[in-house]
A and B are shown apart, each in its own frame.
Chain A
Amino acid sequence: MDLLDQLADTFFNWEEMAKVIPALLMVGLPNTLILAVASGILGSVLGLALAMMGISRNAGARWVARIYTDIFRGLPAILVILVIGIGLSPIAREITGSRNPYPLGILALTLIAAAYIGEIFRSGIQSVEKGQLEASRALGFSYGSSMRLVVVPQGIRRVLPALVNQFISLLKDSSLVFMLGLAASDREIFRIGNDAMANTGNLSPLVAAGVLYLILTVPLTHFVNFIDNRLRTGKPEKKEPDELAAPIGKGAQA
Protein backbone atom coordinates (compact mmCIF):
# COMPACT_ATOMS: atom_id res chain seq x y z
CA MET A 1 0.00 0.00 0.00
CA ASP A 2 2.94 2.24 0.63
CA LEU A 3 3.81 2.23 -3.05
CA LEU A 4 0.24 3.08 -4.07
CA ASP A 5 0.07 5.87 -1.53
CA GLN A 6 3.32 7.17 -2.84
CA LEU A 7 2.06 7.12 -6.43
CA ALA A 8 -1.19 8.81 -5.44
CA ASP A 9 0.80 11.47 -3.63
CA THR A 10 3.08 11.98 -6.63
CA PHE A 11 0.28 12.46 -9.17
CA PHE A 12 -2.79 13.43 -7.18
CA ASN A 13 -1.66 15.47 -4.24
CA TRP A 14 -4.78 17.59 -3.90
CA GLU A 15 -3.09 20.11 -1.68
CA GLU A 16 -0.39 20.87 -4.25
CA MET A 17 -2.99 20.96 -6.99
CA ALA A 18 -5.19 23.36 -5.08
CA LYS A 19 -2.21 25.64 -4.56
CA VAL A 20 -1.46 25.88 -8.28
CA ILE A 21 -5.01 26.04 -9.63
CA PRO A 22 -5.53 29.80 -9.07
CA ALA A 23 -2.36 30.61 -11.02
CA LEU A 24 -3.29 28.08 -13.72
CA LEU A 25 -6.69 29.68 -14.21
CA MET A 26 -5.85 33.33 -13.67
CA VAL A 27 -2.47 33.50 -15.43
CA GLY A 28 -1.82 30.29 -17.36
CA LEU A 29 -5.21 29.90 -19.04
CA PRO A 30 -5.45 33.45 -20.43
CA ASN A 31 -1.86 33.33 -21.66
CA THR A 32 -2.28 29.96 -23.35
CA LEU A 33 -5.47 31.21 -24.99
CA ILE A 34 -3.84 34.46 -26.11
CA LEU A 35 -0.88 32.61 -27.61
CA ALA A 36 -3.03 30.02 -29.35
CA VAL A 37 -5.84 32.29 -30.55
CA ALA A 38 -3.55 35.11 -31.71
CA SER A 39 -1.24 32.80 -33.61
CA GLY A 40 -4.25 30.83 -34.87
CA ILE A 41 -5.84 33.93 -36.37
CA LEU A 42 -2.60 35.39 -37.72
CA GLY A 43 -1.55 31.95 -38.96
CA SER A 44 -4.86 31.58 -40.82
CA VAL A 45 -4.42 34.95 -42.50
CA LEU A 46 -0.85 34.17 -43.52
CA GLY A 47 -1.87 30.60 -44.40
CA LEU A 48 -4.60 31.86 -46.73
CA ALA A 49 -2.08 34.13 -48.44
CA LEU A 50 0.28 31.16 -48.83
CA ALA A 51 -2.55 29.04 -50.24
CA MET A 52 -3.43 31.72 -52.79
CA MET A 53 0.22 31.98 -53.75
CA GLY A 54 0.46 28.20 -53.95
CA ILE A 55 -2.31 28.02 -56.57
CA SER A 56 -1.33 31.23 -58.33
CA ARG A 57 -0.58 31.29 -62.04
CA ASN A 58 2.59 33.18 -61.15
CA ALA A 59 5.44 30.66 -60.88
CA GLY A 60 7.42 32.97 -58.59
CA ALA A 61 4.59 33.15 -56.06
CA ARG A 62 4.15 29.37 -56.14
CA TRP A 63 7.87 28.96 -55.59
CA VAL A 64 7.95 31.27 -52.56
CA ALA A 65 4.96 29.50 -50.99
CA ARG A 66 6.54 26.10 -51.63
CA ILE A 67 9.87 26.99 -50.02
CA TYR A 68 8.21 28.70 -47.05
CA THR A 69 6.02 25.67 -46.43
CA ASP A 70 8.87 23.21 -46.77
CA ILE A 71 10.96 25.10 -44.23
CA PHE A 72 8.40 25.78 -41.53
CA ARG A 73 6.70 22.42 -41.83
CA GLY A 74 10.01 20.62 -41.90
CA LEU A 75 11.54 22.09 -38.75
CA PRO A 76 10.76 21.09 -35.14
CA ALA A 77 8.48 23.70 -33.54
CA ILE A 78 10.82 24.13 -30.61
CA LEU A 79 13.73 24.99 -32.90
CA VAL A 80 11.70 27.66 -34.72
CA ILE A 81 10.51 29.14 -31.44
CA LEU A 82 14.05 29.35 -30.07
CA VAL A 83 15.58 30.72 -33.25
CA ILE A 84 12.86 33.35 -33.73
CA GLY A 85 12.52 34.17 -30.03
CA ILE A 86 16.23 34.63 -29.46
CA GLY A 87 17.41 35.60 -32.93
CA LEU A 88 14.88 38.37 -33.49
CA SER A 89 14.90 39.75 -29.96
CA PRO A 90 17.44 42.55 -30.73
CA ILE A 91 15.29 43.72 -33.63
CA ALA A 92 12.13 43.45 -31.54
CA ARG A 93 13.81 45.47 -28.78
CA GLU A 94 14.78 48.09 -31.34
CA ILE A 95 11.24 48.39 -32.65
CA THR A 96 9.14 48.01 -29.52
CA GLY A 97 11.64 49.04 -26.86
CA SER A 98 10.63 45.97 -24.87
CA ARG A 99 12.61 42.89 -23.89
CA ASN A 100 9.49 40.83 -23.58
CA PRO A 101 9.79 37.68 -25.75
CA TYR A 102 6.02 37.10 -25.64
CA PRO A 103 5.23 38.73 -29.04
CA LEU A 104 8.08 36.78 -30.58
CA GLY A 105 6.55 33.60 -29.20
CA ILE A 106 3.31 34.50 -30.99
CA LEU A 107 5.27 35.28 -34.16
CA ALA A 108 7.07 31.93 -34.11
CA LEU A 109 3.82 30.01 -33.50
CA THR A 110 2.18 32.02 -36.30
CA LEU A 111 4.93 31.21 -38.79
CA ILE A 112 4.70 27.50 -38.01
CA ALA A 113 0.89 27.42 -38.04
CA ALA A 114 0.76 29.29 -41.36
CA ALA A 115 2.76 26.57 -43.11
CA TYR A 116 0.30 23.86 -42.05
CA ILE A 117 -2.85 25.99 -42.43
CA GLY A 118 -1.68 27.13 -45.87
CA GLU A 119 -1.51 23.52 -47.02
CA ILE A 120 -4.93 22.81 -45.53
CA PHE A 121 -6.48 25.80 -47.31
CA ARG A 122 -4.73 24.99 -50.57
CA SER A 123 -6.03 21.43 -50.66
CA GLY A 124 -9.53 22.69 -49.85
CA ILE A 125 -9.53 25.41 -52.48
CA GLN A 126 -8.15 23.06 -55.11
CA SER A 127 -10.89 20.54 -54.37
CA VAL A 128 -13.59 23.00 -55.52
CA GLU A 129 -14.81 22.04 -59.00
CA LYS A 130 -13.42 24.11 -61.86
CA GLY A 131 -16.97 24.87 -62.99
CA GLN A 132 -17.48 27.09 -59.95
CA LEU A 133 -14.75 29.49 -61.00
CA GLU A 134 -15.94 29.31 -64.58
CA ALA A 135 -19.56 30.09 -63.65
CA SER A 136 -18.51 33.01 -61.50
CA ARG A 137 -16.25 34.42 -64.21
CA ALA A 138 -19.02 33.94 -66.78
CA LEU A 139 -21.25 36.19 -64.64
CA GLY A 140 -18.62 38.90 -64.98
CA PHE A 141 -16.68 38.54 -61.74
CA SER A 142 -12.93 39.05 -61.87
CA TYR A 143 -10.57 36.23 -60.85
CA GLY A 144 -10.04 37.84 -57.45
CA SER A 145 -13.74 38.38 -56.73
CA SER A 146 -14.54 34.87 -57.93
CA MET A 147 -12.01 33.40 -55.54
CA ARG A 148 -13.19 35.57 -52.65
CA LEU A 149 -16.94 35.13 -53.14
CA VAL A 150 -17.26 31.66 -54.61
CA VAL A 151 -14.23 29.39 -54.54
CA VAL A 152 -12.44 30.14 -51.27
CA PRO A 153 -15.57 30.05 -49.04
CA GLN A 154 -16.40 26.60 -50.39
CA GLY A 155 -12.81 25.40 -50.07
CA ILE A 156 -12.54 26.55 -46.46
CA ARG A 157 -15.83 24.92 -45.55
CA ARG A 158 -14.52 21.58 -46.78
CA VAL A 159 -11.39 21.72 -44.63
CA LEU A 160 -12.92 23.01 -41.39
CA PRO A 161 -12.29 19.70 -39.59
CA ALA A 162 -8.61 19.75 -40.57
CA LEU A 163 -8.42 23.39 -39.55
CA VAL A 164 -9.80 22.72 -36.07
CA ASN A 165 -7.30 19.87 -35.72
CA GLN A 166 -4.59 22.38 -36.51
CA PHE A 167 -5.91 24.71 -33.79
CA ILE A 168 -5.77 21.85 -31.29
CA SER A 169 -2.19 21.23 -32.26
CA LEU A 170 -1.43 24.93 -31.92
CA LEU A 171 -2.99 25.07 -28.47
CA LYS A 172 -0.63 22.34 -27.33
CA ASP A 173 2.42 23.74 -29.12
CA SER A 174 1.89 27.10 -27.42
CA SER A 175 3.42 25.42 -24.34
CA LEU A 176 6.80 25.46 -26.11
CA VAL A 177 7.21 29.21 -25.70
CA PHE A 178 8.23 28.46 -22.09
CA MET A 179 11.71 28.03 -23.64
CA LEU A 180 11.91 31.79 -24.15
CA GLY A 181 11.87 32.57 -20.44
CA LEU A 182 8.71 34.55 -19.94
CA ALA A 183 7.99 36.97 -17.08
CA ALA A 184 5.85 35.50 -14.30
CA SER A 185 2.70 37.25 -15.50
CA ASP A 186 3.21 35.97 -19.06
CA ARG A 187 3.51 32.29 -18.25
CA GLU A 188 1.15 29.83 -19.84
CA ILE A 189 -0.43 26.67 -18.48
CA PHE A 190 2.51 24.31 -18.94
CA ARG A 191 5.09 26.68 -17.52
CA ILE A 192 3.05 27.34 -14.40
CA GLY A 193 2.51 23.65 -13.80
CA ASN A 194 6.18 22.98 -14.48
CA ASP A 195 7.38 25.74 -12.12
CA ALA A 196 5.15 24.50 -9.33
CA MET A 197 6.43 20.97 -9.89
CA ALA A 198 10.03 22.14 -9.73
CA ASN A 199 9.38 24.08 -6.51
CA THR A 200 7.55 21.31 -4.70
CA GLY A 201 9.14 18.24 -6.22
CA ASN A 202 5.61 16.93 -6.70
CA LEU A 203 4.09 16.10 -10.12
CA SER A 204 0.53 17.00 -9.16
CA PRO A 205 0.68 20.60 -10.45
CA LEU A 206 1.70 19.25 -13.85
CA VAL A 207 -1.18 16.78 -13.74
CA ALA A 208 -3.51 19.71 -13.02
CA ALA A 209 -2.04 21.56 -16.00
CA GLY A 210 -2.63 18.46 -18.12
CA VAL A 211 -6.25 18.28 -17.04
CA LEU A 212 -6.70 21.91 -17.99
CA TYR A 213 -5.29 21.20 -21.48
CA LEU A 214 -7.73 18.31 -21.84
CA ILE A 215 -10.63 20.54 -20.82
CA LEU A 216 -9.65 22.79 -23.72
CA THR A 217 -8.79 20.20 -26.34
CA VAL A 218 -11.32 17.39 -25.85
CA PRO A 219 -14.38 19.56 -26.63
CA LEU A 220 -12.52 20.78 -29.72
CA THR A 221 -11.92 17.23 -30.95
CA HIS A 222 -15.61 16.48 -30.51
CA PHE A 223 -16.41 19.72 -32.28
CA VAL A 224 -14.31 18.45 -35.20
CA ASN A 225 -16.35 15.25 -35.32
CA PHE A 226 -19.55 17.27 -35.21
CA ILE A 227 -18.69 19.55 -38.11
CA ASP A 228 -17.20 16.65 -40.03
CA ASN A 229 -20.50 14.84 -39.70
CA ARG A 230 -22.51 17.93 -40.54
CA LEU A 231 -20.44 18.56 -43.65
CA ARG A 232 -20.96 15.00 -44.82
CA THR A 233 -24.67 14.66 -44.14
CA GLY A 234 -25.80 18.29 -44.21
CA LYS A 235 -28.23 20.01 -41.90
CA PRO A 236 -31.17 17.92 -40.79
CA GLU A 237 -33.62 18.89 -43.48
CA LYS A 238 -36.92 20.60 -42.84
CA LYS A 239 -39.88 19.22 -44.73
CA GLU A 240 -41.42 21.88 -46.86
CA PRO A 241 -45.03 22.73 -46.22
CA ASP A 242 -46.29 22.00 -49.75
CA GLU A 243 -44.65 18.57 -49.80
CA LEU A 244 -46.36 17.77 -46.54
CA ALA A 245 -49.63 19.33 -47.59
CA ALA A 246 -50.00 17.15 -50.67
CA PRO A 247 -50.32 13.77 -48.94
CA ILE A 248 -52.38 15.29 -46.14
CA GLY A 249 -54.75 16.85 -48.68
CA LYS A 250 -55.15 13.53 -50.48
CA GLY A 251 -55.86 11.76 -47.22
CA ALA A 252 -58.51 14.29 -46.32
CA GLN A 253 -60.26 13.84 -49.64
CA ALA A 254 -60.31 10.07 -49.53
Chain B
Amino acid sequence: MTEFASGTLTGKNLHLSFGHNHVLRGIDLHVEKGTTASVIGPSGSGKSTLLRVMNRLIEPDQGDILLDGRSVLKDNPDELRQRIGMVFQQFNLFPHKTVVDNVSLALRKLRKLSKEQARAEALEQLDLVGLKHKADARPANLSGGQQQRVAIARALAMKPEVMFFDEATSALDPELVKGVLALMTDLAKGGMTMVVVTHEMGFSRNVSDTVTFMDAGVVVESGPPEQVFTAPRTDRLKGFLSDVL
Protein backbone atom coordinates (compact mmCIF):
# COMPACT_ATOMS: atom_id res chain seq x y z
CA MET B 1 0.00 0.00 0.00
CA THR B 2 1.05 3.54 -0.67
CA GLU B 3 1.72 6.21 1.92
CA PHE B 4 -1.35 8.00 3.19
CA ALA B 5 -1.66 11.67 4.06
CA SER B 6 -3.40 10.66 7.26
CA GLY B 7 -4.83 13.16 9.72
CA THR B 8 -6.21 13.08 13.23
CA LEU B 9 -9.99 13.48 13.48
CA THR B 10 -11.91 14.53 16.55
CA GLY B 11 -15.62 14.97 17.14
CA LYS B 12 -16.53 16.86 20.31
CA ASN B 13 -19.89 16.84 22.02
CA LEU B 14 -21.79 16.38 18.74
CA HIS B 15 -25.54 16.84 18.89
CA LEU B 16 -28.13 16.38 16.17
CA SER B 17 -31.91 16.31 16.21
CA PHE B 18 -34.42 15.63 13.48
CA GLY B 19 -37.46 17.39 14.86
CA HIS B 20 -38.15 15.79 18.22
CA ASN B 21 -35.87 12.87 17.45
CA HIS B 22 -32.60 13.50 19.27
CA VAL B 23 -30.32 11.26 17.18
CA LEU B 24 -26.90 12.25 18.52
CA ARG B 25 -26.73 13.27 22.17
CA GLY B 26 -23.25 14.60 22.74
CA ILE B 27 -20.90 12.23 20.94
CA ASP B 28 -17.13 12.38 21.48
CA LEU B 29 -14.95 10.44 19.08
CA HIS B 30 -11.20 10.79 18.70
CA VAL B 31 -9.30 9.00 15.95
CA GLU B 32 -5.55 9.35 16.17
CA LYS B 33 -3.62 9.73 12.92
CA GLY B 34 -2.97 6.40 11.24
CA THR B 35 -5.33 4.43 13.48
CA THR B 36 -8.65 2.73 12.90
CA ALA B 37 -11.66 3.39 15.09
CA SER B 38 -14.59 1.06 14.72
CA VAL B 39 -18.05 2.06 15.79
CA ILE B 40 -20.45 -0.69 16.77
CA GLY B 41 -23.95 -0.72 18.15
CA PRO B 42 -27.53 -1.74 17.38
CA SER B 43 -29.34 -0.38 14.31
CA GLY B 44 -30.78 3.06 14.86
CA SER B 45 -28.16 3.95 17.43
CA GLY B 46 -26.89 6.86 15.30
CA LYS B 47 -23.66 5.30 13.98
CA SER B 48 -24.22 6.13 10.31
CA THR B 49 -25.57 9.55 11.20
CA LEU B 50 -22.40 10.21 13.19
CA LEU B 51 -20.29 9.62 10.06
CA ARG B 52 -22.48 11.98 8.04
CA VAL B 53 -22.17 14.64 10.68
CA MET B 54 -18.41 14.26 10.92
CA ASN B 55 -17.95 14.97 7.20
CA ARG B 56 -20.76 17.53 7.33
CA LEU B 57 -23.12 15.81 4.93
CA ILE B 58 -25.43 16.75 7.80
CA GLU B 59 -24.51 19.80 9.86
CA PRO B 60 -24.42 19.17 13.63
CA ASP B 61 -26.71 21.26 15.84
CA GLN B 62 -23.97 21.59 18.42
CA GLY B 63 -20.39 20.48 19.01
CA ASP B 64 -17.15 20.73 17.07
CA ILE B 65 -15.21 18.73 14.50
CA LEU B 66 -11.44 19.00 14.39
CA LEU B 67 -9.06 17.76 11.74
CA ASP B 68 -5.44 17.79 12.91
CA GLY B 69 -6.51 19.85 15.88
CA ARG B 70 -8.18 22.61 13.89
CA SER B 71 -11.94 23.17 13.82
CA VAL B 72 -13.36 22.59 10.35
CA LEU B 73 -16.90 23.81 11.01
CA LYS B 74 -16.20 27.17 9.40
CA ASP B 75 -14.48 25.66 6.34
CA ASN B 76 -16.28 25.14 3.08
CA PRO B 77 -17.95 21.74 3.64
CA ASP B 78 -17.21 20.66 0.05
CA GLU B 79 -13.49 21.14 0.68
CA LEU B 80 -13.70 19.24 3.97
CA ARG B 81 -15.33 16.30 2.20
CA GLN B 82 -12.50 16.20 -0.32
CA ARG B 83 -10.26 15.41 2.65
CA ILE B 84 -12.51 12.66 4.03
CA GLY B 85 -13.28 9.67 1.82
CA MET B 86 -16.52 7.79 2.37
CA VAL B 87 -17.65 4.29 1.43
CA PHE B 88 -21.33 3.37 1.63
CA GLN B 89 -23.31 0.25 2.38
CA GLN B 90 -24.98 0.38 -1.05
CA PHE B 91 -21.71 1.26 -2.89
CA ASN B 92 -23.43 4.16 -4.70
CA LEU B 93 -21.26 3.93 -7.78
CA PHE B 94 -22.44 6.14 -10.62
CA PRO B 95 -24.19 3.66 -12.94
CA HIS B 96 -24.04 5.90 -16.02
CA LYS B 97 -20.24 6.02 -15.91
CA THR B 98 -17.64 3.33 -16.49
CA VAL B 99 -15.61 2.01 -13.57
CA VAL B 100 -12.58 4.15 -14.43
CA ASP B 101 -14.74 7.24 -14.94
CA ASN B 102 -16.28 6.69 -11.51
CA VAL B 103 -12.81 6.90 -10.03
CA SER B 104 -11.50 9.72 -12.21
CA LEU B 105 -14.53 12.04 -12.10
CA ALA B 106 -13.52 13.91 -8.95
CA LEU B 107 -9.88 13.97 -10.07
CA ARG B 108 -10.84 15.74 -13.25
CA LYS B 109 -13.51 18.07 -11.93
CA LEU B 110 -12.21 18.85 -8.45
CA ARG B 111 -8.46 18.25 -8.69
CA LYS B 112 -8.54 19.68 -12.23
CA LEU B 113 -6.30 16.97 -13.64
CA SER B 114 -6.21 16.47 -17.40
CA LYS B 115 -8.27 13.60 -18.79
CA GLU B 116 -5.19 11.44 -19.41
CA GLN B 117 -3.64 12.19 -16.04
CA ALA B 118 -6.90 11.50 -14.20
CA ARG B 119 -7.35 8.23 -16.06
CA ALA B 120 -3.79 7.17 -15.28
CA GLU B 121 -4.26 7.90 -11.58
CA ALA B 122 -7.64 6.19 -11.54
CA LEU B 123 -6.13 3.09 -13.16
CA GLU B 124 -3.44 3.08 -10.51
CA GLN B 125 -6.09 3.14 -7.77
CA LEU B 126 -8.03 0.38 -9.50
CA ASP B 127 -4.86 -1.65 -9.66
CA LEU B 128 -4.49 -1.31 -5.88
CA VAL B 129 -7.95 -2.83 -5.36
CA GLY B 130 -7.29 -5.50 -7.99
CA LEU B 131 -9.79 -4.28 -10.58
CA LYS B 132 -7.71 -2.59 -13.25
CA HIS B 133 -8.99 -5.12 -15.77
CA LYS B 134 -12.58 -3.93 -15.17
CA ALA B 135 -11.74 -0.28 -15.88
CA ASP B 136 -14.03 0.06 -18.86
CA ALA B 137 -16.90 -2.05 -17.55
CA ARG B 138 -20.09 -0.57 -16.16
CA PRO B 139 -20.71 -0.93 -12.42
CA ALA B 140 -23.85 -2.97 -13.13
CA ASN B 141 -21.68 -5.69 -14.68
CA LEU B 142 -19.60 -6.11 -11.52
CA SER B 143 -20.32 -8.21 -8.45
CA GLY B 144 -21.21 -6.41 -5.22
CA GLY B 145 -17.75 -7.04 -3.81
CA GLN B 146 -16.11 -5.65 -6.93
CA GLN B 147 -18.40 -2.62 -6.86
CA GLN B 148 -17.46 -1.93 -3.26
CA ARG B 149 -13.77 -2.19 -4.09
CA VAL B 150 -14.27 0.31 -6.90
CA ALA B 151 -16.06 2.58 -4.43
CA ILE B 152 -13.05 2.33 -2.14
CA ALA B 153 -10.74 3.16 -5.05
CA ARG B 154 -12.96 6.13 -5.93
CA ALA B 155 -12.62 7.48 -2.39
CA LEU B 156 -8.88 6.76 -2.19
CA ALA B 157 -8.18 8.52 -5.48
CA MET B 158 -8.79 11.85 -3.77
CA LYS B 159 -5.93 11.06 -1.37
CA PRO B 160 -8.11 11.60 1.69
CA GLU B 161 -6.68 12.13 5.16
CA VAL B 162 -9.44 10.05 6.73
CA MET B 163 -11.64 7.26 5.37
CA PHE B 164 -15.19 6.55 6.56
CA PHE B 165 -16.76 3.14 6.04
CA ASP B 166 -20.52 2.98 6.61
CA GLU B 167 -21.38 -0.71 7.00
CA ALA B 168 -19.37 -1.33 3.88
CA THR B 169 -19.92 -5.09 3.86
CA SER B 170 -23.52 -5.29 5.07
CA ALA B 171 -25.04 -5.45 1.59
CA LEU B 172 -22.61 -8.08 0.30
CA ASP B 173 -23.13 -11.79 -0.15
CA PRO B 174 -21.16 -13.66 2.53
CA GLU B 175 -18.54 -14.97 0.10
CA LEU B 176 -17.79 -11.43 -1.12
CA VAL B 177 -17.31 -9.92 2.32
CA LYS B 178 -13.82 -11.33 2.75
CA GLY B 179 -12.26 -9.50 -0.18
CA VAL B 180 -13.57 -6.13 0.95
CA LEU B 181 -12.54 -6.72 4.58
CA ALA B 182 -9.07 -7.76 3.41
CA LEU B 183 -8.75 -4.51 1.50
CA MET B 184 -9.92 -2.50 4.52
CA THR B 185 -7.41 -4.35 6.67
CA ASP B 186 -4.63 -3.50 4.21
CA LEU B 187 -5.60 0.16 4.39
CA ALA B 188 -5.64 0.11 8.19
CA LYS B 189 -2.24 -1.60 8.34
CA GLY B 190 -0.93 0.85 5.75
CA GLY B 191 -1.52 3.74 8.12
CA MET B 192 -4.80 5.17 6.87
CA THR B 193 -6.89 6.96 9.48
CA MET B 194 -10.25 5.19 9.38
CA VAL B 195 -13.63 5.32 11.05
CA VAL B 196 -15.44 2.06 10.42
CA VAL B 197 -19.11 1.65 11.28
CA THR B 198 -19.54 -2.08 11.15
CA HIS B 199 -21.42 -5.21 12.18
CA GLU B 200 -18.29 -7.29 11.48
CA MET B 201 -17.19 -7.97 15.03
CA GLY B 202 -14.13 -9.89 13.81
CA PHE B 203 -12.86 -6.86 11.96
CA SER B 204 -13.66 -4.58 14.86
CA ARG B 205 -11.83 -6.81 17.29
CA ASN B 206 -8.80 -7.76 15.23
CA VAL B 207 -8.09 -4.75 13.06
CA SER B 208 -9.25 -1.61 14.84
CA ASP B 209 -7.21 0.23 17.42
CA THR B 210 -10.22 1.52 19.32
CA VAL B 211 -13.81 0.39 19.51
CA THR B 212 -16.69 2.71 20.29
CA PHE B 213 -20.04 1.24 21.30
CA MET B 214 -22.99 3.52 20.63
CA ASP B 215 -26.59 3.11 21.70
CA ALA B 216 -29.50 5.53 21.41
CA GLY B 217 -27.31 8.44 20.34
CA VAL B 218 -24.70 8.24 23.07
CA VAL B 219 -21.29 6.59 23.38
CA VAL B 220 -21.84 3.93 26.03
CA GLU B 221 -18.32 2.55 26.09
CA SER B 222 -15.12 2.92 24.18
CA GLY B 223 -11.60 1.62 24.46
CA PRO B 224 -9.13 -0.81 22.96
CA PRO B 225 -10.79 -3.89 21.43
CA GLU B 226 -9.52 -6.33 24.11
CA GLN B 227 -11.18 -4.28 26.80
CA VAL B 228 -14.45 -3.67 24.96
CA PHE B 229 -14.89 -7.25 23.78
CA THR B 230 -13.52 -9.20 26.75
CA ALA B 231 -14.32 -6.95 29.67
CA PRO B 232 -17.45 -4.92 28.86
CA ARG B 233 -18.38 -2.77 31.81
CA THR B 234 -21.97 -1.87 31.03
CA ASP B 235 -25.02 -4.10 30.77
CA ARG B 236 -25.95 -2.50 27.46
CA LEU B 237 -22.67 -3.53 25.84
CA LYS B 238 -22.82 -6.97 27.46
CA GLY B 239 -26.32 -7.41 26.08
CA PHE B 240 -25.29 -6.23 22.60
CA LEU B 241 -22.26 -8.51 22.48
CA SER B 242 -24.26 -11.53 23.58
CA ASP B 243 -26.74 -10.76 20.78
CA VAL B 244 -24.15 -10.45 17.99
CA LEU B 245 -21.36 -12.85 18.99
Contacts and interface: CB of A to CB of B under 8 A. Distances in A.
Contact of B96 (A135, A140, A154, A240): A154
15 contacts: A131-B88, A135-B88, A138-B81, A138-B84, A139-B106, A139-B110, A139-B155, A140-B79, A140-B106, A140-B110, A141-B78, A145-B109, A237-B141, A240-B137, A242-B133
B92 interface: yes
Contacts of A149: 105, 109
Contacts of A76: none
B81 A137 contact: yes
Choose among A129, A139, A153, A240 the residue with the greatest number of B CB atoms under 10 Å from its CB: A139
A134 interface: yes
Given A145-B109, A154-B96, 9 more contacts: A134-B92, A135-B86, A135-B92, A137-B57, A138-B81, A138-B84, A139-B110, A140-B110, A234-B140
Interface residues of B, number: 28
A131 B147 CA distance: 14
Interface of B: 55, 57, 78-79, 81-82, 84-86, 88, 90, 92-96, 105-106, 109-110, 133, 137, 140-141, 151, 154-155, 158
B57 A138 contact: yes
A99 interface: no
A154 B88 CA distance: 19
A234 B137 CA distance: 13
Interface in A176-234: 234
A136 B141 CA distance: 21
A134 B158 contact: no
Interface of A: 129, 131-132, 134-142, 145, 149-150, 153-154, 157, 234, 237, 240, 242
A242 B132 CA distance: 13
A135 B140 CA distance: 17
Contact of A141 (B86, B110, B133, B155): B110
A153 B93 CA distance: 14
* Chain A binding surface, main DSSP class: helix
Contacts of A240: 137
Contacts of B84: 138
B186 to A, nearest CB: 21
Contacts of B95: 154
A139 B154 contact: yes
A136 B82 CA distance: 10
B54 to A, nearest CB: 11
A136 B85 CA distance: 11
Contact of B82 (A140, A150, A242): A140
A88 B96 CA distance: 43
B109 A131 contact: no
Contacts of A153: 96
Among A135, A137, A138, A154: residue with most chain B CB under 10 A: A138
B118 to A, nearest CB: 13
The 5 closest A-B pairs by CB, nearest first: A140-B82, A135-B92, A138-B86, A131-B92, A139-B106
Contacts of B110: 139-141
Contacts of A136: 94
Nearest to A137: B57
Contacts of B133: 242
B221 to A, nearest CB: 28
